[in-house]
């Protein structure tokens, strides 16, 4: 960034601020602010793009059903080691989540006492809009974006009329329609407040047709959904290569064990169904044919905590009909992979807003398992093609 360029102070209003991903991201920013030069895992750390906020200038704010400070939450999640916890304790100890909007009907296994008591959907949206205004003023922000990192909600009834159009959604808000869940209320509030919105979860939010329409009309950038962290990232790297080599995929078995709070939320059958939907959606379009035996399995296994282990077994057929197997065993740290992506999504949404772009931001596809697309067409899932899309968008704006 040229020495004269003005620095942008950008707030990230996180839904699920006390979670493992958000607290890891906040700790990461704190380390960078203190002069750390560890930029591993941050895909855009070296991108010299005008207008892109610096990591050190990101301010963490938001909501959580658990009101404890980020330092206390961080210690519970056990993602950071003891010295990292000690070094960030003071800064993260000063941040406490605001009371969040919740619905047990949408997320059964996760609850808390830091709940915003509101008389209905319309009041919930108004309260969130107020909070966003307050954050802007309280921190003297130049920009603010909202990112959903909350626990996975069940998928609402696809037939529900309230989600289909902007007008129906507004009526649904007045009627406290049960098809409208918390993630949609937050997204609706962000769009009303002109705040770009990113959905790192599989929950239905800004991708509800009503809210896509609203984001376009209001010119507010939205992106999602479901962060592409570990296993799906590898899948969308490997599958294009298998296609290019004409190796036929006969079956792909993906399984995960993890014991963090996300895993706990996914013990609920309906929340799990949302996650399996996004994780299972990436393969067929890359390969160009349906893989009938594509199985995705997620198990909550407490001893692993955030240290998720993912196994993939891929059965392929090659020349002369000979069959082979590929095994991938990714021993990862779920939040360590996810947190830097959240920082990039926030910076890019802020940049999109500065460039005057509104509606779905398809160029952010590389960060998501089920990318939102500009005209609702089928998403591009291949990692290399997504990378090209993002690079071109960054370059195009920089050249103007």
Q: Which of 230, 280, 340, 358 binds ligand LIP (CB under 6 A)?
A: 230
Name the one range near ligand LIP by CB under 6 A: 120-128, 139-147, 237-245, 254-262.
Answer: 254-262
Report the distance separating Cα 102 and Cα 166, nearest Å.
Answer: 22
Q: Which of 256, 271, 354, 365 binds ligand LIP (CB under 6 A)?
A: 256
The closest alpha carbon to 145, from 243, 11, 257, belongs to: 11
Q: Which of 232, 236, 274, 386 binds ligand LIP (CB under 6 A)?
A: 232
Report the distance separating Cα 123 and Cα 117, nearest Å.
Answer: 9
66 near ligand LIP (CB under 6 A):
no
333 near ligand LIP (CB under 6 A):
no
Name the one range near ligand LIP by CB under 6 A: 89-97, 181-189, 228-236, 238-246.
Answer: 228-236
Strand arrangement, sheet containing 293-300: 293-300, 248-258, 309-317, 323-331
Q: Minimum distance from CB of 234 to ligand LIP (Å)?
A: 8
SS3 of 17, please? Answer: coil
Report the distance separating Cα 300 and Cα 273, nearest Å.
Answer: 14
Q: Other CB atoms closer than 10 Å to residue 331's CB: what's the count?
A: 11
Closest CB to ligand LIP among 129 and 150?
150
Closest CB to ligand LIP among 297 and 392?
297
Q: How far, in Å, are 239, 257, 275, 311, 336 from residue 298 at the CA level?
A: 20, 6, 9, 11, 19
Report the distance separating Cα 235 and Cα 286, nearest Å.
Answer: 10
Closest CB to ligand LIP among 307 and 334?
334
Name the one range near ligand LIP by CB under 6 A: 22-30, 161-169, 224-232, 313-321.
Answer: 224-232
Q: Which of 102, 191, 298, 345 binds ligand LIP (CB under 6 A)?
A: 298
SS3 of 97, please? Answer: coil
Of residues 258-297, which lie at the interface with ligand LIP (CB under 6 A)? 258, 262-263, 266, 275, 279
Q: Minimum distance from CB of 320 to ligand LIP (Å)?
A: 33
Q: Minimum distance from CB of 29 to ligand LIP (Å)?
A: 20
55 phi, psi to nearest 5 deg: -55, -40
380 near ligand LIP (CB under 6 A):
no
Q: Minimum distance from CB of 244 to ligand LIP (Å)?
A: 22
Q: Which of 8, 96, 154, 228 binds ligand LIP (CB under 6 A)?
A: 228
Cβ neighbours of residue 76 closer than 8 Å, sequence gap 6 or more: none
Of residues 1-40, which lie at the interface with ligand LIP (CB under 6 A)? none
Q: Minimum distance from CB of 222 to ligand LIP (Å)?
A: 19
Number of residues interacting with ligand LIP: please give it, by CB under 6 A: 14
User: What pairing do the DSSP bridges indicate for beta strands 323-331 and 309-317?
Assistant: antiparallel
Torsion of CA 35, 38, 43, 44, to 10 degrees: 20
Query: Angle of helix 182-192 relative to helix 209-218, nearest 10 degrees?
Result: 10
344 near ligand LIP (CB under 6 A):
no
Burial of 165 (0-12, 13-18, 19+ CB in 10 A): middle
Q: Where are the alpha helices (DSSP H) in 5-81?
A: 20-33, 70-77
334 near ligand LIP (CB under 6 A):
yes
Closest CB to ligand LIP among 185 and 266?
266
Query: Angle of helix 121-138 relative to helix 182-192, nearest 10 degrees?
Result: 50
Closest CB to ligand LIP among 142 and 264?
264
Of residues 98-127, which lie at the interface with ligand LIP (CB under 6 A)? none
Name the one range near ligand LIP by CB under 6 A: 140-148, 155-163, 186-194, 223-231.
Answer: 223-231
386 near ligand LIP (CB under 6 A):
no
Report the distance separating Cα 285 and Cα 389, nearest Å.
Answer: 17
Contact set with ligand LIP (CB under 6 A)? 228-232, 256, 258, 262-263, 266, 275, 279, 298, 334
């Amino acid at each position: 960034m040229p020495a004269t360029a003005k620095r942008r102070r950008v707030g990230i209003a996180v839904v699920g601020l006390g979670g493992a991903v958000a607290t890891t991201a906040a700790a990461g920013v704190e380390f960078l602010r203190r002069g750390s030069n560890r930029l591993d895992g941050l895909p855009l750390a070296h991108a010299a793009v005008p207008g892109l906020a610096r990591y050190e200038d990101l301010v963490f704010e938001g909501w959580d059903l658990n009101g404890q400070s980020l330092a206390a939450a961080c210690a519970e999640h056990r993602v950071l080691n003891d010295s990292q916890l000690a070094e960030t304790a003071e800064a993260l100890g000063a941040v406490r989540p605001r009371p969040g909007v919740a619905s047990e009907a949408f997320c059964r296994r996760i609850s808390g006492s830091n709940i915003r008591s509101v008389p209905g959907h319309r009041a919930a949206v108004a309260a969130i809009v107020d909070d966003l205004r307050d954050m802007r003023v309280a921190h003297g922000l130049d920009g603010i974006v909202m990112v959903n990192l909350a626990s996975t909600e069940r998928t609402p009834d696809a037939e529900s009329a309230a989600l289909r159009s902007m007008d129906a959604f507004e009526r649904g808000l007045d009627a406290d329609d049960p098809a409208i869940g918390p993630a949609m209320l937050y997204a609706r509030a962000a769009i009303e407040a002109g705040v770009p919105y990113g959905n790192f979860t599989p929950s239905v939010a800004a991708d509800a047709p009503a809210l896509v329409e609203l984001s376009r009309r209001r010119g507010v950038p939205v992106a999602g959904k479901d962060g592409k962290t570990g296993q799906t990232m590898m899948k969308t790297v490997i599958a294009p290569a298998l296609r290019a080599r004409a190796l036929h995929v006969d079956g792909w078995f993906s399984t995960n064990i993890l014991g963090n709070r996300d895993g706990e939320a996914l013990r609920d059958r309906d929340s799990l169904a949302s996650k399996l939907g996004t994780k299972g959606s990436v393969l067929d379009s890359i390969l160009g044919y349906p893989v009938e035996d594509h199985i995705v399995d997620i198990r909550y296994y407490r001893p692993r905590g955030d240290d998720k282990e993912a196994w993939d077994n891929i059965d392929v057929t090659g020349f002369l009909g000979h069959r082979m197997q590929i095994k991938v065993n990714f021993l990862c740290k779920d939040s360590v992979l996810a947190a830097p992506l959240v920082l990039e999504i926030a910076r890019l949404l802020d940049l999109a807003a500065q460039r005057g772009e509104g509606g779905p931001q398809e160029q952010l596809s590389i960060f998501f398992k089920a990318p939102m697309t500009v005209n609702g067409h089928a998403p591009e899932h291949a990692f290399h093609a997504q990378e090209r899309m993002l690079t071109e968008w960054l370059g195009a704006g920089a050249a103007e």
